[in-house]
Amino acid sequence: MLRIEKLKKVKGNFPVLVGSNIIPKSICKILIEEISNSKSFDDMIMGGRSRINKGSKNFNNYIKQSKISKKLFKLFNSKSFYKKIENIFKKKFKNRSWENSNLPKVFNPKKFTIKKKLNSSELQKLLGNNYSNPKVNLDIDFSVSKGGYRLRPHRDDITRLYNFLIYLTDIPKKNGGSLTIYRKKTKKNIRKSFRRFPKISELEVVKEFTPRQGTVVFFQSTPNSYHGVKRFIEKNCPKRFFIYGSYALNKPVIWKFNDIPYYPHIIKTKKKMLTSFHDANYLTVPVAN
């Protein structure tokens, strides 16, 4: 079902793997049909992305009624597949500088990131202050985007280890919707901090991935893994169907770069937001949240 042996290393400033025709087009078409047949979605974010999120009652109903989606979910939601992806990254990026300080020993298939709005104090309480002995789980959503969907440059949640994106439709380059990888313009051997949401003027484009049916992108969610999605223009083209997911810890990841640790710092706010919208930076010195 998934030809992950075809994944290839992408040259850049953080670990990225990509492969075309990883999922057969016949399977993609069935997945599109299953998502299209969904009676409801859990939410709409980023100007036009409708999601069916792991952990919701809606998701459970969707999986029961969708044979291929269920099969794909079962594959990803297993310790054996997680370890397989982890081993591919280790093999492809032997001389990588970024490492996770606290390796998870337990895979929890029932766990998922809570999709409810929290302020920074509530989020900090949820994540806790003890980052040792973490457990890992799969987060995944089946999505479809209409015109107007876009995603500003950012780095994902501080609990993420690996992210993946599965394209189910072909989108012409002129219609946007491409996953774009960025890096900081100024080069430094060691940075004291990595902002979660840097200014676009601070970044330069490394690579763009135009949606192609059956293409899969995996990348390690390091503090400098800046990425975004160019605005999708829904004109004379299909909607942007895709699957997005990650392997995440139940607590923040403490990353190391050349043995220098980076600690997460959640920016205080009274505003309630989804965890994916909170600003959390990585610093070389731990700061009390």
159-201 pLDDT, tens digit each: 999 999 999 999 999 999 999 999 998 877 678 999 999 999 9
208-236 pLDDT, tens digit each: 999 999 999 999 999 999 999 999 999 88
Q: State the DSSP string of 9-64.
A: EE-SSS-EEEETTSS-HHHHHHHHHHHHT-S--SEEETTTEEEEETTSHHHHHHHH
pTM, two decimals, is 0.94
Distance in angstroms (rounded) separating the CA atoms of residues 138 and 248: 6
Distance in angstroms (rounded) separating the CA atoms of residues 161 and 224: 13
Supply the DSSP symbol for 96.
Answer: -
42-63 pLDDT, tens digit each: 999 888 999 999 999 999 999 9
Distance in angstroms (rounded) separating the CA atoms of residues 277 and 43: 14
Tokens of 131: 């980052």
The answer to the question of residue 288 being in a domain is: no
The answer to the question of residue 148 being in a domain is: yes
83-137 pLDDT, tens digit each: 999 999 999 998 777 899 999 999 999 999 988 899 999 999 999 888 999 999 9
The answer to the question of residue 13 being in a domain is: yes
Q: What is the pLDDT of residue 289?
A: 67
The answer to the question of residue 94 being in a domain is: yes
The answer to the question of residue 125 being in a domain is: yes
The answer to the question of residue 32 being in a domain is: yes
Q: Number of structural domains, the chain?
A: 1
CATH code of residue 85:
2.60.120.620
Distance in angstroms (rounded) separating the CA atoms of residues 29 and 23: 10
The answer to the question of residue 289 being in a domain is: no
Tally of CB atoms within 10 A around 3: 14
The answer to the question of residue 244 being in a domain is: yes
Q: What is the pLDDT of residue 190?
A: 75
Structural domain that includes position 229: 4-283
Distance in angstroms (rounded) separating the CA atoms of residues 114 and 250: 11
